[in-house]
Structure 1
Amino acid sequence: MLLGALVASPSPASAHAAPVGATPAPGSIVGSSPTEVTVTFSEPISPVTGQIQVIAPDGERINATPTVQGAVLRIPIRSAKRPLGTYLVSFRVISADSHPVGGAITFSVGAPSARPEAATTTGSHPSVTLAVPTLKFLGYAGITLIAGPSLFLAFLWPRKRSRSGAIRLLRIGLALTAAATLGALGTQAQQGSGAALWQVSVSELTAVLTSQFGLLLLSRLTALALLAVLLPPLLKAHPRRISPSPARTPALVAVGAPTPVVAPPVPSAPVVVEASSRVAQFRVAAVLLLSVFGLATWPLTGHAIAAPLPAVTVTVGTVHMAAMAVWLGGLITLTVFLLRGTDRRILGVLLPVWSRWAALAVVWLTIAGGVQAVVQLGALPALWQTGYGRLLLAKLAVLAGVLTLAFFARRLVTRVTGSGASGLRRTVAVEVAATVLILGLSAVLVQVDPGRSAAAKDGAVTGEGVSETLTNSLYTLQFNIYPVEVGEYNTVHAFLYTPEGKPLPPEEWEISTRLTSQNLEAVKEPLLGLTPKHHALGSVTFPIPGTYEIAFTIRVDDLNRATVKTSLTVP
């Protein structure tokens, strides 16, 4: 229910890069069919096989294999059988942060015509839209269930409490993270193709596995497999310091144990002891390195890698996830295993230590999250003007509530008997529930366009504009106005034909605009005749939003003149 509600709010965006330019220009009219179409994006992209098309006016697909140079998509095209009319460029690519980018633009050769239909959709199937944030949530839950139990088992576990439950929770965390990673590999192709979750081919999966995204996730799976082998043996029992000299045997004390327990002397040879110690040290170092690398694969396949400062954003992204996993994972471990059934004297030693660690984790969580927010928002207004910013505000609001609960929980740490212990358990349980909500918000947030991309999307090119055909007894007029927005830079292309459809070079062109909601005179503008002579070019100004009457007055010869009219709405 939680994820369903989150996914129903701002839906995950299907684009994180944005098309910012194209040749031919969107909505433009050119004299002859080009041999290549280029689309420029706001960040580097990679093409999705089979999902980049150029459709001719008669519906024929005319593109060859596209190529990519950084942020520029180049699409070679062949001459169409019927070259005159409107062409559709439909694209679906993968942005630098591994998210799909879909869209379409148009241009015309000679004169506009009816827009052809693309062979495939550029949107994401609902099953994929739901599956992606769900898998993100499961992955985040998995790493918290790895970090929390591991931390407590290594440093804070009471000697007399069974470790089997915490070890089992750790294994569940490993399994959840692996399942989420496999799911991400299995849905990446569908994000690119727009197909349903169950519609994927072997060739598409192969392409995903050999991509940078796929190689990083395969590396994460390898790290998880190694952790599954190395971690449990290290955490099944307290590590003992082995000394060759009985006189120097240290006292080993479990956290909260009432009396120290002295380890018996071990009559092992010094060489054996040293080798055992080195093996343990190697395992610990390997676990730490694998953990850091595994965590880094998330920002390396997300917003962070496409940000203006990738080295900084990947680093703080890794720190952010580590701090989150330690904090939330520790809370879950406390709630499930330790706050009930543990002697109050042991809790009196354990909880203050955990409280300090949790506070440190929150400090790093806040610092890393602040840096991420500054980079990804780009500007302060994006905090309330974009879906990303509003989701971030919701996450911060919940986090503020959790920190308030954590403050009261710290005060209860010193009172772990009677009603104090009961209040602590309730407070921590609510804290866990709230932080699970934060995980859900995070799972959706990483799928939404970051605020910094709002400017790029605002300037994204589209095929929008107005194309229409007007007729009377003297002629047929086809025209296009682009982009139809407030201001003076609205380009007009006009093409004149006889009623039978043959090119008709006129003697004079004129266009006028009149805002219908006000009693104003029409504003007349000339149109410049071009070659071919039945083609004219000009511009019109729309000073304010509203509905305008557009009138074309055309003199076809010395005696015959006629006016045709239509209306359009300027947003």
Structure 2
Amino acid sequence: MKTLTAGRLLPVLGTLLAALLCALGPGAGSASAHAALTSTDPASGSVVPAAPRQVKLTFSEGVLLSADSVRVLDPQGRRVDESKPAHADGKSNTAVVGLAGGIADGTYTVAWQAVSADSHPVAGAFTFSIGAPSKTVAEVTTAEAGPVVDALYTTGRYAAYAGYLLLVGGCVFAGVCRSSRPVQRIAVGGWITLFAATSALLLLRGPYAGGKGLGSAFDLTLLGDVLATKPGAALLSRLLLLSAAAVFLAVLFGSYAREDGDRTRMERRDVAYGLAIGGTVVAVGLAATWAMAEHASAGLQSWLAMPVDVLHLLGVAVWLGGLAALLAALWSGEPVRRAEVQRFSRLAFASVCVLVATGLYQSWRQVGSWGALTGTEYGRWLLLKVALVAGMVVLASFSRRWTGRLTDGRPAPKKQAPAVRAVQAATGAAKAARPSRKDKDASPERAAQLARQREALEKAAGRRQRDADEGRSGLRRAVLAEAGVAVVLLAVTTLLTGTQPGRAETEQRQSAASGGARTTAPAASGPAETRIPYDTGGTNGRGTALIRIDPARSGNNSIDVSVTDPAGKAVDVPELEVSFTEKQKNIGPLRTALKRTSAGRWQATGFQLPMAGTWQLTLTVRTSDIDQITEIRNVKIN
């Protein structure tokens, strides 16, 4: 909720959209996140006359390497790499591994996996030949986090963001606007959520980045490797800062919240200044644990992007976390003065201004072009986020109207007479239910029953009294609507932090295109589409699958599958699988990790096709427990 009148609402929204359009004009220099493989030595798909001494990979940004980050397999699938992968010449965006001497001619497969500078795991594979190409039985599989680990890690990231917003927003609301028991529960609940989520993320980080199972979460060796990385250090720093935050909470809602008659006004002011400084340091430090390990830490202008990211997260926390604190105070029925609500309005409006400024810079940095805004997954999520923010601004105008109707006195007797009579009746009933001396001498069961009745009556009386003020009831409904949109907004933000930025995805496509131009296969224009009708023979077993491969070149590709029934309506099937096999060189099958995105639609991003040529696409569709069919088509990869 923000201080926005209807007259000021449209200019703010217009400025937001206009600035976003300007920010997506011509971009600056190269910027990436989610490291892209830009070149290899030997080159992908090349034929070299003699065995090289090493294999070198170059990425668009720095990567973190492990003992199995680069594996070189001979035509029989045996490893021929001898040394542990290392950075070439100390450059963090390279990986080099030595090869055994005297290896024979044939086609060799290089499978790689690493962690990009923004903490996200990346993987892929390519081939090269010595002397002449040959058949190979090497399995080009890269470790990926399983669906359980991926779901738990994503949930942990969402919970960590939510915990931070509640912790910071609740503390700011308590310090600036109003401190009460409901607000304290919001802040303490945020601390507990953030601590639990961070601990879980620290344990899950190893399985998530290394593609291992959930059982390895408690592997101390793997945990030690995680702590030696930048994401692990950020999570550990967050836990240490939360210990300081616990002390801050104890003071804010403990001795400072209590009215102390022995404390002078100046002493109380000094404590308030100390809390403000200490709380700011802790809040900034916690926000920095995200900025130093995610998108802001990699790519273009990282020296500026990280402090901007900290400001952005602080603005979100003050706005949405404070909104949750205000809703808790209103819902509890405690008296919230109009001045306190207006104070939060001004604070929230300033936070939104910070969000707009920092968000525009982040949009330009991560998207960079019109094409990336509408043609990449990151750009589409960003458009949804902007729409949600605009929706919250619209809802805030209604909250502002209800704020203008707030009064600090009792509701008007004439208008509120029915509600007041109901409150008085419930209060009288509660008093009548108080135990008499005779009741006190009754059995413990009877006393407990009377206590429950009395508690229920008092709670009902409190609810009626809370709803007696029309202004507060309307404000509570408006803030609740804002909070509902905020929950969705937080989910979209979490997905954005785990999605490859549009600028980086565009660079990967350009890199794949330039790499494909060096092969003997002719260049193709645009993605490849294959329409495959299927009929499993059972009930509702007929349909069509449209498979789109973009950009249909060797290297990184996105796979989009749309399934429709004979009438052309999108339809879900219990199981859908797509794989690729290169028959001539005996590579594959390479299975895609399809994820359902909407009704009848599945997608996979970052799918690696190691070389150009004619690949066999295998589609398996299951429409019931026993009805299944497999269809095969050929697709050209350049």
Of 216, 237, 245 in structure 2, the residue corresponding to residue 219 of structure 1 is: 237
Residue in 2 that maps onto 1:290: 282
Of 70, 84, 88 in structure 2, the residue corresponding to residue 65 of structure 1 is: 84
Alpha-carbon shift at residue 376 of structure 1 (Å) = 0.7
Residue in 2 that maps onto 1:563: none
The runs of 5 or more residues in structure 2 that have no matched partner are 1-32, 412-468, 526-612, 615-633
Equivalent residues of 2:182, 2:328 under 8 A apart: no
**3-state secondary structure, aligned to 1:117:** coil
Deviations 1:279-305 (CA, angstroms, capped at 9, x unpaired)? 765454232212111111111110000
Mapped to 2, the partners of 1:340 and 1:285 lie a distance apart of 30
User: CA 1:232 to 1:141, structure 2 compared with 1: closer, same or farther past 3 Å?
Assistant: same
User: CA 1:386 to 1:281, structure 2 compared with 1: closer, same or farther past 3 Å?
Assistant: same
1:137 lines up with 2:129 in the alignment: no
Residue in 2 that maps onto 1:363: 353
1:204 lines up with 2:225 in the alignment: no
Deviations 1:316-374 (CA, angstroms, capped at 9, x unpaired)? 1111111111111111111122355233xx43222111111111111111111111111
**3-state secondary structure, aligned to 2:110:** strand
Alpha-carbon shift at residue 402 of structure 1 (Å) = 1.1
Deviations 1:180-227 (CA, angstroms, capped at 9, x unpaired)? 222222222223321123334322210111222222221111111111
How many residue pairs match? The answer is: 434
The runs of 5 or more residues in structure 1 that have no matched partner are 1-14, 241-251, 253-262, 467-479, 488-545, 548-566
Residue correspondence of structure 1 range 91-130 to structure 2 within 5 A = 91-118=112-139, 121-130=142-151
Alpha-carbon shift at residue 16 of structure 1 (Å) = 0.7
Of 147, 153, 168 in structure 1, the residue corresponding to residue 168 of structure 2 is: 147
User: CA 1:126 to 1:70, structure 2 compared with 1: closer, same or farther past 3 Å?
Assistant: same
Alpha-carbon shift at residue 465 of structure 1 (Å) = 8.1
User: CA 1:463 to 1:125, structure 2 compared with 1: closer, same or farther past 3 Å?
Assistant: farther
Alpha-carbon shift at residue 131 of structure 1 (Å) = 2.1
Residue in 2 that maps onto 1:407: 397
Residue in 1 that maps onto 2:10: none
User: CA 1:239 to 1:403, structure 2 compared with 1: closer, same or farther past 3 Å?
Assistant: same
Residue in 2 that maps onto 1:310: 302
Mapped to 2, the partners of 1:408 and 1:164 lie a distance apart of 27
Equivalent residues of 2:516, 2:523 under 8 A apart: no
Alpha-carbon shift at residue 119 of structure 1 (Å) = 7.5
User: CA 1:568 to 1:393, structure 2 compared with 1: closer, same or farther past 3 Å?
Assistant: closer
Alpha-carbon shift at residue 118 of structure 1 (Å) = 4.2
Mapped to 2, the partners of 1:363 and 1:307 lie a distance apart of 25
> Higher mean Cα deviation, 146-155 or 425-434?
146-155
Of 97, 107, 117 in structure 2, the residue corresponding to residue 75 of structure 1 is: 97
Mapped to 1, the partners of 2:303 and 2:345 lie a distance apart of 31
Equivalent residues of 1:383, 1:389 under 8 A apart: yes
Equivalent residues of 1:17, 1:43 under 8 A apart: yes
1:429 lines up with 2:480 in the alignment: yes
Residue in 2 that maps onto 1:184: 201
Equivalent residues of 1:167, 1:232 under 8 A apart: no
User: CA 1:22 to 1:148, structure 2 compared with 1: closer, same or farther past 3 Å?
Assistant: same
1:48 lines up with 2:40 in the alignment: no
Equivalent residues of 1:22, 1:39 under 8 A apart: yes
**3-state secondary structure, aligned to 1:428:** helix
**3-state secondary structure, aligned to 2:216:** coil
Equivalent residues of 1:148, 1:328 under 8 A apart: yes
**3-state secondary structure, aligned to 1:236:** helix
User: CA 1:236 to 1:437, structure 2 compared with 1: closer, same or farther past 3 Å?
Assistant: same
User: CA 1:282 to 1:359, structure 2 compared with 1: closer, same or farther past 3 Å?
Assistant: closer
Equivalent residues of 1:126, 1:196 under 8 A apart: no
Alpha-carbon shift at residue 232 of structure 1 (Å) = 2.2
Residue in 2 that maps onto 1:193: 210
Mapped to 2, the partners of 1:156 and 1:238 lie a distance apart of 14
User: CA 1:283 to 1:340, structure 2 compared with 1: closer, same or farther past 3 Å?
Assistant: closer
1:353 lines up with 2:391 in the alignment: no
Equivalent residues of 2:68, 2:85 under 8 A apart: no
User: CA 1:464 to 1:118, structure 2 compared with 1: closer, same or farther past 3 Å?
Assistant: farther
Of 299, 306, 311 in structure 2, the residue corresponding to residue 319 of structure 1 is: 311
Q: How many percent of aligned residue pairs carry the same amino acid?
A: 32
Alpha-carbon shift at residue 26 of structure 1 (Å) = 0.1
Mapped to 2, the partners of 1:424 and 1:329 lie a distance apart of 17
Mapped to 1, the partners of 2:321 and 2:375 lie a distance apart of 33
Alpha-carbon shift at residue 114 of structure 1 (Å) = 2.3
The letter for the 2-side match of 1:317 is D
> Higher mean Cα deviation, 328-337 or 119-128?
119-128
Mapped to 2, the partners of 1:326 and 1:282 lie a distance apart of 19
The letter for the 2-side match of 1:432 is A
Moved over 6 A (4+): 276-280, 462-466
Equivalent residues of 1:48, 1:192 under 8 A apart: no
Structure having the higher helix fraction is 2
Mapped to 2, the partners of 1:75 and 1:154 lie a distance apart of 56
User: CA 1:264 to 1:166, structure 2 compared with 1: closer, same or farther past 3 Å?
Assistant: closer
Of 463, 476, 485 in structure 1, the residue corresponding to residue 523 of structure 2 is: 485
Deviations 1:527-547 (CA, angstroms, capped at 9, x unpaired)? xxxxxxxxxxxxxxxxxxx99
Mapped to 2, the partners of 1:116 and 1:79 lie a distance apart of 21
Residue in 2 that maps onto 1:456: 507
Equivalent residues of 1:105, 1:461 under 8 A apart: no
Residue in 2 that maps onto 1:389: 379
1:438 lines up with 2:489 in the alignment: yes
**3-state secondary structure, aligned to 2:337:** helix
Equivalent residues of 1:484, 1:570 under 8 A apart: no
**3-state secondary structure, aligned to 1:37:** strand
Mapped to 2, the partners of 1:453 and 1:115 lie a distance apart of 32
Q: Tell which has more relative contact order, 1 or 2 (C-alpha 8 A, sep 6+).
A: 2
Mapped to 1, the partners of 2:636 and 2:67 lie a distance apart of 38
Mapped to 2, the partners of 1:307 and 1:464 lie a distance apart of 21
Residue in 2 that maps onto 1:331: 323
User: CA 1:481 to 1:224, structure 2 compared with 1: closer, same or farther past 3 Å?
Assistant: closer
The letter for the 1-side match of 2:195 is A
Equivalent residues of 2:76, 2:136 under 8 A apart: no
Equivalent residues of 2:166, 2:321 under 8 A apart: yes
Deviations 1:499-543 (CA, angstroms, capped at 9, x unpaired)? xxxxxxxxxxxxxxxxxxxxxxxxxxxxxxxxxxxxxxxxxxxxx
Alpha-carbon shift at residue 483 of structure 1 (Å) = 4.2
Mapped to 2, the partners of 1:203 and 1:120 lie a distance apart of 24
Structure having the higher Rg: 1
User: CA 1:265 to 1:305, structure 2 compared with 1: closer, same or farther past 3 Å?
Assistant: closer
Mapped to 1, the partners of 2:256 and 2:145 lie a distance apart of 50
Alpha-carbon shift at residue 80 of structure 1 (Å) = 5.6
Equivalent residues of 1:26, 1:461 under 8 A apart: no
Mapped to 1, the partners of 2:262 and 2:75 lie a distance apart of 88
Equivalent residues of 1:19, 1:40 under 8 A apart: yes
Mapped to 2, the partners of 1:570 and 1:302 lie a distance apart of 33
User: CA 1:368 to 1:440, structure 2 compared with 1: closer, same or farther past 3 Å?
Assistant: same
**3-state secondary structure, aligned to 2:370:** coil
User: CA 1:482 to 1:465, structure 2 compared with 1: closer, same or farther past 3 Å?
Assistant: farther
Equivalent residues of 1:27, 1:483 under 8 A apart: no
Deviations 1:27-76 (CA, angstroms, capped at 9, x unpaired)? 00111111100010000111123242011112210112111122111111
The letter for the 2-side match of 1:311 is W
1:16 lines up with 2:8 in the alignment: no
**3-state secondary structure, aligned to 1:180:** helix
User: CA 1:350 to 1:186, structure 2 compared with 1: closer, same or farther past 3 Å?
Assistant: same
Equivalent residues of 2:44, 2:126 under 8 A apart: yes
Equivalent residues of 2:195, 2:242 under 8 A apart: yes
**3-state secondary structure, aligned to 1:26:** coil
